[in-house]
């Protein structure tokens, strides 16, 4: 069995900055409320026609491939995590293959695990590399939330949180088993699927034909719904559990963590985890203040940023952890 390691990282966010004050002009909210509850100061929104989940993913991927030192023809497989694909189907993995001009028949897999999407995608890539099936895998997390959010006061509990952006990583085979990804840990609890969900249009009870036919302005099933406090309470418990699970598996403790990259769901969640594990500000990288919650893109954006700032160095113990819709959650333990 091989290990896999992060060979290259990249990210891309749209140029269009949307501040809390901008949002308070279109809905009943305030900079003070948003910052106090979430830590978010601003986020990026795509300009219609300029960027999509796929195009942002391509930009992040180009940077990650270039930094990996690999030729794009050496990429064996693509894993693309998103909840906001350009098309209902096919998913953006195959579109990235075409846009990047990767080998014509290289496999592409789309992962749908919302805020845990990147952690799930990394785990999938890690298994393929471990078994020797593939050597170099491109993993992307990209989201275009802004076109699908309710920017009236009705949707304020959800729409102020999310932002658009993309992050990517190239995972490659590592022959030294003490380096790279040491373990990944994935969980879900489908019992709470509807506590954070976008129900329609779907092929279940909310057919697109009915939505169009009814044309009901009170219909809310095509806006994301989040039971915020319930999600928050579960998030702090599951984040802690899954980080500890990863550490224990590797006979490590919180004191061994050099850098924690939590999914950027809410700064208060990150601060709770930081306090629980007694980590200093230098041991946790947060950027939700600038980008909001970019779901599957948040970890690769934050990881790339931390690496660019020199906060992730060879030999460091780096922990990735996520929690989100599903509920799904997971962690990745890495010896960098
Ligand atoms: N501006 C002003 N007031 C608001 C806003 C807003 N943007 N949003 C909600 N409010 C109001 C509510 O209407 C409510 O008013 P009321 O008391 O008069 O009814 C009050 O503020 C409190 O609302 P809550 O929803 O209870 O606010 P809470 O403190 O829980 O904060 C938040 C909401 C920020 C969403 C928080 O619950 C949270 O971060 N939850 C976790 C999010 C998360 O981790 N998601 C997982 C990842 S996302 C994914 O997987 C896709």
Contacts of 30 (CB under 8 A, 6+ apart): 20, 24
User: Beta strand pairing status for 3-12 and 165-174?
Assistant: antiparallel
Does residue 71 sit in the same domain as residue 186? no
The closest alpha carbon to 207, from 218, 196, 219, belongs to 219
Does residue 187 sit in the same domain as residue 152? no
Question: Which mutation among 228, 293, 295 tests ligand 1's pocket best, with the greatest number of atoms within 8 A of CB?
Answer: 228
Confidence (pLDDT) at 204: 85
Q: Is 263 a catalytic residue?
A: yes
Domain count within the chain: 2
Does residue 33 sit in the same domain as residue 162? yes
Confidence (pLDDT) at 129: 98
Q: Which of 153, 177, 201 is the last residue of a domain?
A: 177
Does residue 234 sit in the same domain as residue 331? yes
- How far apart are the CA of 157 and the centre of ligand 1, in A? 5
Angle, CA 266 vertex, CA 263 and CA 268 arms, to 5°:
115
What are 172's two structure tokens?
Answer: 């490659």
Per-residue pLDDT at 215 exceeds 90: no
pTM above 0.75, yes or no: yes
CB distance 277 to 254 below 8 Å: yes
Predicted confidence (pLDDT) per residue in 84-110, tens digit? 999 999 999 999 999 999 988 999 999
Distance CA 27, CA 29 (A): 6
Does residue 229 sit in the same domain as residue 290? yes
CB distance 296 to 83 below 8 Å: yes
Predicted confidence (pLDDT) per residue in 14-27, tens digit? 999 999 999 999 99
Instruction: Report whether residue 130 contacts ligand 1, using a CB cutoff of 6 Å.
Output: no
- Our CA dihedral for 140, 149, 201, 111, rounded to 10 degrees, sits at 10
Q: Is 187 a catalytic residue?
A: no
CATH of the domain at 214: 3.40.47.10
The helix (run of H) or strand (run of E) holding residue 44 is strand 42-44
Does residue 164 sit in the same domain as residue 48? yes
CB distance 269 to 238 below 8 Å: no
Instruction: Report whether residue 157 contacts ligand 1, using a CB cutoff of 6 Å.
Output: yes
- How far apart are the CA of 37 and the centre of ligand 1, in A? 7
Question: Which mutation among 119, 232, 298 tests ligand 1's pocket best, with the greatest number of atoms within 8 A of CB?
Answer: 232
Distance CA 9, CA 45 (A): 22
Per-residue pLDDT at 220 exceeds 90: no
Please report the atom of ligand 1 found closest to the CA of residue 158: 35
Does residue 225 sit in the same domain as residue 117? no
The closest alpha carbon to 332, from 188, 116, 172, 79, belongs to 116
Q: Which of 111, 143, 177 is the last residue of a domain?
A: 177
For residue 187, the enclosing domain spans: 181-335
* Ligand 1, atom 1: closest residue by C-alpha: 29
Q: Is 215 a catalytic residue?
A: no
Predicted confidence (pLDDT) per residue in 143-193, tens digit? 999 999 999 999 999 999 999 999 999 999 999 999 999 999 999 999 999
Predicted confidence (pLDDT) per residue in 194-210, tens digit? 999 999 888 887 788 88
Does residue 201 sit in the same domain as residue 320? yes
- How far apart are the CA of 318 and the centre of ligand 1, in A? 30
Instruction: Report whether residue 231 contacts ligand 1, using a CB cutoff of 6 Å.
Output: yes
Per-residue pLDDT at 274 exceeds 90: yes
């Amino acid at each position: 069995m091989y290990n896999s390691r992060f060979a290259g990282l990249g990210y891309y966010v749209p140029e269009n900055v949307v501040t809390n004050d901008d949002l308070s002009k279109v809905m009943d909210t305030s900079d003070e409320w948003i910052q106090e509850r979430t830590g978010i100061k601003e986020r990026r929104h795509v300009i219609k026609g300029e960027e999509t989940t796929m195009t942002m993913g391509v930009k992040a991927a180009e940077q990650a491939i270039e930094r990996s030192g690999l030729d794009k023809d050496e990429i064996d497989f693509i894993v693309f995590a998103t909840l906001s694909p350009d098309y209902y189907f096919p998913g953006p993995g195959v579109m990235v293959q075409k846009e990047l001009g990767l080998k014509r028949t290289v496999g592409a897999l789309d992962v749908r695990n919302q805020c845990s999407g990147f952690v799930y995608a990394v785990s999938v890539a890690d298994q393929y590399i471990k078994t020797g099936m593939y050597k170099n895998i491109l993993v992307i997390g990209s989201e275009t939330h802004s076109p699908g959010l309710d920017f009236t006061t009705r949707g304020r509990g959800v729409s102020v949180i999310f932002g658009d952006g993309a992050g990517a990583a190239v995972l490659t085979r590592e022959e030294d088993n003490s380096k790279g990804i040491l373990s990944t840990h994935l969980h879900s609890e489908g019992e709470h699927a509807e506590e954070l969900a976008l129900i329609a249009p779907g092929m279940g009870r909310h057919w697109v034909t009915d939505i169009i036919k009814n044309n009901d302005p009170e219909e809310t099933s095509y806006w994301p719904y989040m039971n915020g406090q319930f999600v928050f309470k579960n998030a702090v418990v599951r984040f802690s559990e899954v980080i500890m699970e990863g550490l224990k598996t590797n006979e490590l403790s919180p004191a061994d963590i050099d850098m924690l990259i939590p999914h950027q769901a809410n700064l208060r969640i990150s601060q709770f985890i930081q306090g629980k594990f007694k980590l200093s500000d230098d041991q946790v990288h947060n950027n939700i203040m600038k980008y909001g919650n970019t779901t599957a893109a948040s970890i690769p954006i934050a990881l790339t940023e931390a690496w660019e700032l020199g906060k992730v160095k060879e030999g460091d113990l780096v922990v990735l952890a996520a929690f989100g819709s599903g509920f799904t959650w997971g962690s990745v333990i890495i010896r960098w």
